[in-house]
Amino acid sequence: MLTRDVADGVHLISAAYVNCYVVEDDNGVSLIDTGLPSMWSHLEEGLAELNLRPADLTAIVLTHAHFDHTGCAARAQAELKVPIWAHAADHYIAAHPYRYEHEKPRLLYPLRYPKGVRILATMARAGALRVKGVRDLLPLLPDTVLDVPGRPRVVFTPGHTAGHCALHLADRSTVLTGDALVTLDPYTANTGPQIVARAATADSARALASLDALAATRAQTVLPGHGDPWLTGIQSAVEHAKTHHTRD
């Protein structure tokens, strides 16, 4: 599903409870995260609605390398020859999508959070269990402006993964938070700004500390990797995430 202009020149493509974003400027088109494998068709359809094609993509930037954000990356790299950026600390996960650190066993969650089962099952049907690894990535460097369409500033936000980075579009007062801050947790089905459950987070204490880096952007529009956009400012989102944090 395409939602146009969730921020100026930023378009949301969402399926199976996963978000990716198309960012346009006068120099071309960037894709932020690639979702799950089945989202390739959604990407094609969404770009067509924008009068674009996959071949118009000039850059892919990964906020992090979990399988639900790299699902189309290998295909895009092979078919489109498009460069892909991710923080160096996440390059191993990108190449090995199911070898990532997490603080708590995942099998406990369906019993405690049965509403999350529907979300995870939907993600599985969308290809969550068959993501191909992707290699030869370019490194994201924290606190630099990336020379790709949209010219995002890289905000280092480790915790969910060791190399997680948010992307700040300062001229649009927008921050793409990836999974450093979400408004839907796929494991618990809880909504509202939060960090992701320990089933998929490498270091929750570090993830909470990284919220301060997000707040420092002072962005008005918050675009997460899961859940609806948050339109009342990153600072209120961070405050909510800290106030409502649990050790799930």
pLDDT of residue 111: 80
- Round to whole Å and give the CA distance between 27 and 41: 24
- The answer to the question of residue 101 being in a domain is no
Over residues 202-213, mean pLDDT: 98
Model pLDDT, residue 247: 75
> Hunting for tokens 């390739």 — which residue is that?
40
Looking at residue 154, which CATH number applies to its domain?
3.60.15.10
Sorting pLDDT into bands at 50, 70 and 90, what band is 174? very high
pLDDT at residue 145 is higher than 90: yes
For the chain, percent of residues with pLDDT exceeding 90:
94
Q: In angstroms, rounded to a whole number, what is the distance separating the alpha carbons of residues 214 and 220?
A: 11
Confidence of residue 240 (pLDDT cuts 50, 70, 90): very high
Q: Is residue 116 part of a domain?
A: yes
Q: Is residue 248 part of a domain?
A: no
Q: Rounded to an integer, what distance in angstroms lies between the CA atom of residue 163 and that of residue 87? A: 5
Question: What is the C-alpha separation between 147 and 170, in angstroms, rounded?
Answer: 14
170 assigned to some structural domain? yes
CA count, 13 A, side-chain hemisphere, 89 = 16
Q: Does some domain include residue 72?
A: yes
Residue 135 has what pLDDT? 98
Q: Is the pLDDT at 248 greater than 80, yes or no?
A: no
Give pLDDT, residue 108.
80
| pLDDT tens profile 34-73 | 999 999 999 999 999 999 999 999 999 999 999 999 999 9
Q: How many domains does the chain have?
A: 1
Report the mean per-residue pLDDT for the chain.
96
Task: Give the domain extent around 173.
Answer: 2-96+106-243
Distance (Å, rounded) from C-alpha 234 to C-alpha 214? 7
- The whole-angstrom separation of Cα 189 and Cα 148 is 34
| φ and ψ of 49, to 5 deg | -65, -25
pTM over 0.95: yes
- Decide: 228 and 12 in contact? Cβ < 8 Å: no
For tokens 């290809």, the residue is: 127
Over the stretch 70-111, which tens digit does the pLDDT of each residue have? 999 999 999 999 999 999 999 999 999 999 999 998 888 888
Strands 138-139 and 84-86, sheet pairing: parallel
Decide if 101 contacts 202 (C-beta within 8 A). yes
Inside any domain, residue 6: yes
